Amino acid sequence: MLDRLRMALLRRSLRQLVERSKRRRRPHTFETARSVALLFDASEEETRKIVALWAEGFIEREHRKRLHVLAFVDDAHTVGQSRFPQFTAQNLGWRGQLEGPSVEHFLAETPDLLLCFNPRQLLPVQWVAAASKATMKIGNTNEPPHDFDLVVETPPNKDIQFFLREATHYLSKIVPVHHEQPA
């Protein structure tokens, strides 16, 4: 019963975050972004492995850019030490907000680009994505409420690798204003 109450408070807090969002929106690509954040549901081992490989590749390719990663781990699939900061539903406070050092550190940053992979539409992941001050947000969910600037449709049978590949593809199609050719 207490868990249902805490989730109801989180749901209300999420709606309020989206309604009151005053973040500065700005289109970015991987080339124009100075910092990238990745928020994902890490409840599956395979997803954690894919993200670890992607993060290593990103750091090698984009060594001048900052990468922030935050993993949500379902209580039923708790993981010991991982390569990424992580949080669980246990980080949910009584005011309907997520707390804890990993969440607070992630939200203290203002990345240029946020990638959010949340295939199970978990409220804690949605809340952190909404609370992020990223100037451009990309997610794989279209269930309201959200404030993603771009939604990458990800079929249920596809994994985070598909999401990252599609997000990279669509970001490559964006032409920042200062690079547009005159007509």
CATH number for the domain spanning 85: value is: 3.40.50
> Looking at the domain assignment, is residue 106 inside a domain?
yes
- For the record, the structure tokens of 141 come out as 């969910």
CB-CB contact of 98 with 67 (8 Å):
no
Dihedral angle computed from the Cα positions of residues 91, 92, 94 and 97, in that order, rounded to the nearest 10 degrees: 110
The pLDDT score that the predictor gives to residue 107 is 94
Total structural domains in the chain?
A: 1
- The pLDDT tens digits for 75-126 are 755 565 577 899 988 888 777 788 899 999 999 999 999 999 999 999 999 9
Q: What is the pTM of this model?
A: 0.86
Range of the domain at 82: 2-175
The pLDDT score that the predictor gives to residue 7 is 76
> Looking at the domain assignment, is residue 183 inside a domain?
no
6 or 113: whose pLDDT is higher? Answer: 113
> Looking at the domain assignment, is residue 181 inside a domain?
no
